[in-house]
């Protein structure tokens, strides 16, 4: 029998190989029906049918996500045994084999079972989903001692599990002697536990008032891939704390007291005892889905020494030699995710990962070419660099297009940062909704709109590679955003072609073409960097 009465986390029990990371991920997979059917497609067609035995071919089909695409893996139905017992992953039911076959298909992907000995939980979660794994260090974040951060993390994990994200947690050993050592609390070091539920559970109340105002306890359910050896603290199987939970609520959360490796604990205890957690978001990009949540951009690249391998941010002189990729976030409500994935394999001695990481840098609104001077830009976020499996432009400087081949090369690069304005003229009772338009040689860049203010702060930059800097100056206009028609508030024309770096200027605003000598209310604050070396910025 391939599958018996549906898949569940109890179908996945670790065998004789040290792949608890894969086993825990498989346990999470079993709890997510949609993802499970994506990894194991056409289950009913692959299953043995007593009425149609001629349809059984002795092969099974699986799918794993690898580096941006789904790979099909086909295996036969021969499984390794000793004395007629499965020696690797097995189900608690003797005639159910989907988890053992899944493990064999995954081992085939990497060459052999031994290649699965030791690994990272996030790798398997990503290979099952095509999702993005996030690692949380519960100790470094000190979440156990910070109530606000703890509440925020619980809400995040609750939201992610409701979105069908796969999650797990672990306690790494401090030495090889502690590997798979059982602590006094019943938790195992060097082990990956699948997280199968995150819920607020009501305490039993008394009296009419308490029926509607019962206290809630944040709780989490985990599963040991061994299928045994459980948590011994508060709310462990059979502990007296469960008497505080009503029978109906216990039934709602599916509480059972069995030696099956699955257990509940309070979120407080989870944060105190576990060290690492992994969340793998299942990213929905389907155009036909009613619950589409993300658009996806994918880029393949390589670190090639010496011209495109610059090391981490500590290597100031070479860092910007690394591959650079540009992206835009167009909506304040957008939630971006960035995933750097290296293409490596596994051998009998483990993974072949190199130390990697990435940095996100805020650049000008219209940048299309590589960054050459990091001091001019804001580093938004830099990841840790580690040997995990699992970031901004292609040209060093602009080149002439075929249509513009006679127009000449750029001779000056100008970077202007629109910092702020002060004392602008009121346009309505709340002030104004000002924004800037920066234009030069036919290109326009717009800053965001600042709402209800006459003292806006934009902190927005633009860069221009200029062919005719003398005859075509840089213009900065300020407009008031309006539903029917935007209102002109003033402009400044920057004429200088001198080389300069980080030059701060407070400039006056003037009227439009017919009133260019008329001074408008307010001051504009800008920062200018300008050079004839086109690769200096």
Could you read off the pLDDT of 53-87 as tens digits, one per residue?
777 888 899 999 988 889 999 999 899 889 888 88
Could you read off the pLDDT of 152-165 as tens digits, one per residue?
999 999 988 888 78
Any idea which of 329-343, 359-373, 516-530 has the lowest mean pLDDT?
329-343
How far apart are the C-alpha atoms of 12 and 124, rounded to whole Å? 14
Could you read off the pLDDT of 196-248 as tens digits, one per residue?
889 888 886 543 334 445 588 899 998 886 667 788 989 888 888 888 888 88
Could you read off the pLDDT of 371-415 as tens digits, one per residue?
999 888 888 888 877 777 774 464 555 655 443 444 578 899 999
Nearest partner of 13 among 220, 186, 261, 263, judged by Cα? 261
Q: Predicted confidence band at 130 (pLDDT cuts at 50, 70, 90)?
A: confident
Q: Determine whether 303 is exposed, middle or buried from the number of CB atoms within 10 Å of its CB (0-12, 13-18, 19+).
A: middle
Report residue 327 as tokens. 């992206």
Mean pLDDT of 505-532: 91
Any idea which of 5-9, 109-113, 409-413, 425-429 has the lowest mean pLDDT?
5-9
Is pLDDT of 261 > 90? no
What are the catalytic residues? 20, 191, 224
pLDDT of the residue at 280: 87
**For helices 98-110 and 121-129, angle between their N-to-C axes, nearest 10 degrees:** 100
pLDDT of the residue at 482: 92
Most confident region among 94-108, 120-134, 156-170, 456-470 by mean pLDDT: 456-470
How far apart are the C-alpha atoms of 516 and 514, rounded to whole Å? 6
pLDDT of the residue at 381: 85
pTM: 0.68
- Residue 421: phi and psi, rounded to 5, are -140, 155
The pLDDT > 90 percentage for the chain reads 31
Question: Average model confidence (pLDDT) for the chain?
Answer: 83
Instruction: Give the sheet arrangement for strand 443-446, strand by strand.
Output: 443-446, 434-440, 474-480, 487-494, 500-510, 519-531, 412-422, 457-466
Report residue 519 as tokens. 């001074």
pLDDT of the residue at 459: 94
Domains within the chain, CATH numbers bracketed: 9-130 (no CATH), 134-276 (3.90.70.10), 310-396 (no CATH), 412-531 (2.60.40.150)
pLDDT of the residue at 393: 67
pLDDT of the residue at 285: 64
């Amino acid at each position: 029998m391939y599958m018996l009465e549906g898949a569940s986390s109890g179908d996945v029990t670790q065998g004789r190989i040290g792949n608890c990371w894969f086993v825990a991920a498989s346990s999470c997979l079993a709890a997510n029906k949609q993802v499970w059917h994506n990894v194991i497609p056409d289950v009913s067609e692959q299953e043995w049918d007593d009425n149609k035995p001629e349809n059984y071919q002795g092969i099974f089909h699986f799918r794993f996500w690898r580096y941006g695409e789904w790979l099909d893996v086909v295996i036969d139905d021969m499984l390794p045994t000793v004395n007629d017992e499965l020696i690797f992953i097995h189900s608690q039911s003797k005639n159910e084999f989907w988890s053992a076959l899944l493990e064999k298909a995954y081992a085939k992907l990497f060459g052999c079972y031994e290649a699965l000995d030791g690994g990272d939980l996030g790798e398997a979660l990503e290979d099952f989903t095509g999702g993005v794994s996030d690692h949380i260090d519960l100790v470094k974040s000190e979440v156990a001692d910070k109530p606000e951060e703890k509440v925020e993390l619980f809400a995040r994990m609750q939201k992610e599990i409701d979105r069908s994200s796969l999650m797990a947690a672990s306690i790494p050993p401090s030495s090889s002697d502690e590997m798979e050592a059982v602590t006094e609390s019943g938790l195992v070091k060097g082990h990956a536990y699948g997280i199968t539920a995150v819920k607020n559970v009501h305490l039993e109340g008394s009296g009419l008032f308490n029926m509607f105002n019962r206290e809630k306890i944040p709780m989490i359910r985990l599963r040991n891939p061994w299928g045994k050896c459980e948590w011994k603290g508060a709310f462990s199987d059979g502990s007296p704390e469960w008497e505080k939970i009503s029978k109906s609520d216990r039934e709602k959360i599916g509480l059972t007291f069995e030696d099956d490796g699955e257990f509940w604990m309070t979120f407080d205890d989870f944060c105190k005892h576990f060290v690492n957690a992994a969340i793998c978001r299942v990213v929905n990009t389907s155009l036909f889905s009613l619950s589409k949540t993300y658009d996806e951009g994918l880029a393949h690249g390589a670190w090639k020494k010496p011209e495109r391998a610059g090391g981490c941010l500590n290597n100031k002189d070479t860092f910007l030699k690394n591959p650079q990729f540009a992206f835009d976030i167009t909506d304040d409500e957008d939630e971006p995710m960035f995933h750097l994935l290296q293409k490596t394999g596994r051998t009998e001695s483990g993974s072949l990962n190199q130390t990697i990481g990435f940095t996100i840098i805020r650049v000008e609104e219209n940048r299309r070419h590589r960054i050459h001077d990091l001091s001019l830009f804001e580093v938004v976020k830099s990841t840790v660099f580690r040997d995990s499996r699992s970031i901004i432009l292609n040209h060093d400087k602009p080149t002439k297009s075929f249509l513009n081949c006679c127009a000449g090369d750029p001779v000056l690069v100008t970077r202007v940062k629109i910092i702020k304005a002060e004392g602008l003229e009121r346009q309505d009772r709340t002030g104004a909704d000002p924004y800037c338009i920066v234009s030069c040689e036919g290109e326009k860049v717009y800053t965001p709109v600042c709402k209800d203010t006459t003292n806006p702060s934009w902190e927005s930059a633009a860069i221009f590679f200029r062919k005719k800097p003398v005859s075509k100056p840089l213009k900065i206009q300020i407009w008031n955003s309006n539903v029917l028609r935007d209102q002109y508030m003033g402009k400044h024309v920057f004429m200088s072609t001198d080389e300069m770096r980080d030059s701060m200027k407070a400039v006056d605003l003037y009227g439009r073409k017919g009133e260019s000598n008329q001074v408008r209310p307010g001051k504009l604050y800008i920062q200018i960097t300008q050079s004839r070396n086109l690769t200096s910025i």
